[in-house]
Amino acid sequence: MTIPDPASRLDREVIAMRVAREFRDGDVVNLGIGIPTLCSDFVPPGVQLLYHSESGVLNCGPLADEADGDIDLINAGGQFLQAVPGMSFFDSAEAFAMIRGGHIDLTVLGALQVSARGDLANWFLPSRGVGNVGGAMDLAVGAKRVIVAMEHSDREGDSKIVSECTFPLTAMRCVSLIVTDVAVFEVTGRNRGLWLIEVAPGWDADAVGSVTAADFAVSDELKEIELL
Amino acid sequence: MPIDKTVPTFEEAVADIPDGATVFIGGFGGAGGMPHRLMLALRDLGSKSLTIAGNTAGIAVPTGFGWPAGEEPIDHAILVENGQIAKVIASFPVSGSVSRKNAFELAFERGEIELEVVPQGTLVERMRAAGAGIPAFYTPTGAGTDLAAGKETREFDGIECVLETALRADFALIRGAVADRLGNITYSGTSRSFNVAMAAAAEITISEVDEIVEPGEIDPERVDTPAIYVDRVVARGAQGKGSR
């Protein structure tokens, strides 16, 4: 049964804008590919972050112009970076020691599915039969806080928030906040469950429930997604 | 006799890589830090049934990952398409784009190449461990996932961890910026990547570099890979720092 959406879904930039509100001054942040990368465009005023990349650089700055690309200065997505003051370089073993060692305050990752317990599946699409794990498993277990930024439904219209992941897992019980184009959930509590805290304009808890394949509790202070 | 690890040509540098060897291929996935001239020489040598290990199995050709616009990338596809690869060990084996498959994925679909996917941090740590004489280590990465299937696990402080073993190779093909003839190497920027761990974890480590200088010309404070890990160095000559 498909119920029409009560209002339009947020675009990718707005998801990124909402995630960026979680950034705190001085955080070491690792952004995944896709919507997570967009978050760097919306860092709140007065907040300075140190961006970490698995390619082996801390304090990575903005992307370089195509013509100025230096093959020895890339981010984890293979894009060329501008050289900025205060960068440091290191090899892959150290890049991942930083991740597993708990030195990354926050990572923002995309997802194929997230379970109600905060299990994450984001590396293997069964229909393809082969996948890239990259640094996703290390980030999911190593970062102090894991935020998922994704569209609420997949291309077939199925909920990406599920009671149990059916796609191969990246890590168990690792996600603490889910920001989608219709809602924001915290994953909290001793038994880890979903807690709906914000909805997109024009949406309410029932409408979110109709597009979500997992049970969730609704905050007494449920509000519209705030961007400022 | 003065130590001189310089080899004049790429062809000579890889000449003893036999069929069935395990070969590390350095870099992260883009042009920087990837030993293209050594890879081309290995292609020309034609050794078969190789196991190659590294971050990717060739993602630059389909997507331009880490390559300057307008330049045609070279990646692992030259070895795959030449039928030299039996097995790939990588964290990011296929193109990030489902619609632009790399040569490896096509060969994998045909059942021609075996694949072992390893989380990126575990992959490089397995190399680091091999180079440092650590036979195995526990890591929380991958616990409870398909990539831990069949592996020993143990809880530390309430966190499930997976036992991972050291990963060695017969040969490491890496790329640095500057070497001296003793084999000391420096890298530039993000091109350290897998090269540092690989250099220490192979029986024979061969480095392609932009430039070879006399001992003393590299500031000892700036040596990234000390000569102890390096067996052969080859200069890129006219290609220098270029991508190809």
Per-residue pLDDT tens over the stretch B148-172: 999 999 999 999 999 999 999 999 9
Compare CB distances from B193 to A91, A132, A133 and report the shortest one's residue. Answer: A91
Evaluated on CA atoms B124, B128, B133, B137, the torsion sign reads negative
- The domains found in chain B, sorted by start residue, are 10-143+151-237 (3.40.1080.10)
**Which of B71, B190, B194 to mutate to probe the A interface, most A CBs <10 Å?**
B190
Question: A1 falls in which pLDDT band (50, 70, 90)?
Answer: low
Report the CATH number of the A12-54+91-224 domain: 3.40.1080.10
Compare CB distances from A55 to B28, B145, B188 and report the shortest one's residue. Answer: B28
Q: Which of these, B129, B123, B75, lies nearest to B102 by C-alpha position? A: B75
Domain extent listing, chain A:
12-54+91-224
Question: A226 falls in which pLDDT band (50, 70, 90)?
Answer: confident
Question: Which is higher by pLDDT, A61 or B104?
Answer: B104
Q: How far is B234 from chain A (nearest CA, A)?
A: 19
Residues A54, A151, A186, A198: which is the catalytic one? Answer: A54
Residues whose CB is less than 8 angstroms from the CB of residue A165 and which lie 6 or more positions away in sequence, other chains included? A113, A114, A115, A119, A120, A121
pLDDT for B70 equals: 87
CB contact under 8 A, B121 and A135: yes
CB contact under 8 A, B117 and A73: no
- Is the per-residue pLDDT at A44 higher than 90? yes
Q: Which of these, A94, A105, A96, A136, lies nearest to A29 by C-alpha position? A: A105
Question: A2 falls in which pLDDT band (50, 70, 90)?
Answer: low
CB contact under 8 A, B59 and A78: yes
H or E element: which one contains A180? none
**Which of B128, B141, B210, B225 to mutate to probe the A interface, most A CBs <10 Å?**
B141
Residue B221, SS3 per DSSP = helix
- Chain A contact set for B98 (CB, 8 A): 125, 128
- Chain A contact set for B60 (CB, 8 A): 78
Percent of chain B whose pLDDT exceeds 70: 100
State how far the Cα of B68 lies from the Cα of A80, in Å rounded to an integer. Answer: 9
CB contact under 8 A, B192 and A73: no
pLDDT for B163 equals: 98
- Is the per-residue pLDDT at A57 higher than 70? yes
Compare CB distances from A170 to B108, B125, B145 and report the shortest one's residue. Answer: B145
- Is the per-residue pLDDT at A228 higher than 70? no
- Chain B contact set for A135 (CB, 8 A): 91, 119-121
- Is the per-residue pLDDT at B191 higher than 80? yes
Tokens at B142, concatenated: 């991958």
For B64: left if phi > 0, alpha if psi spans -120 to 50, otherwise beta; the answer is left
Active site residue A54: yes
- Look up the ipTM and state it: 0.97
- Chain B contact set for A101 (CB, 8 A): none
- Is the per-residue pLDDT at B90 higher than 70? yes
Least confident among A32-36, A107-111, A188-192: A188-192
- Chain B contact set for A36 (CB, 8 A): none
Mean pLDDT, to the nearest integer, of A167-180? 97
Mean pLDDT, to the nearest integer, of A69-90? 95
Query: Kindly report the CA angle at B103 between A171 and B146, in degrees rounded to 5?
Result: 20
